[in-house]
Amino acid sequence: MNLHPLDKESLKSFIGQFNVSNGFQYNLLFVYYLQKVISITNINANHIYTCYKDVGVKIPNNLYQNLVDTKNKKGWIDTSDMNNITVTISGENCVEQDLKK
């Protein structure tokens, strides 16, 4: 998985456009970036782990549960299939309207 593609924005550059203050927001932005910017399919916890490592942010102790909590508490991502995590419409709105600097 290339998080620094030549023809698209890098993950670090993408994240830099947002005010991010918690793991739920990072989870949302990572899934959004993977799905909408670089068109990755079948996103899973390993992809999200790699994103945390790439941007140098502390990884949640229980990443799987943190992803489920992002769904249950915020509704921004769909984790009903943990091998195909996707952004919901609510998540898209949050990224595109609420989190921008």
Domain range list for the chain: 42-101
Confidence of residue 1 (pLDDT cuts 50, 70, 90): confident
What is the overall mean pLDDT for the chain?
A: 96
Which own/partner contact pairs does 38-44 have at CB distance under 8 Å and 24+ positions apart? 38/2, 38/3, 38/5, 38/8, 40/1, 41/84, 42/83, 42/84, 43/84, 43/85, 43/86, 44/82, 44/83, 44/84, 44/85
pLDDT in tens, 28-68: 999 999 999 999 999 999 999 999 999 999 999 999 999 99
Quote the pTM value: 0.95
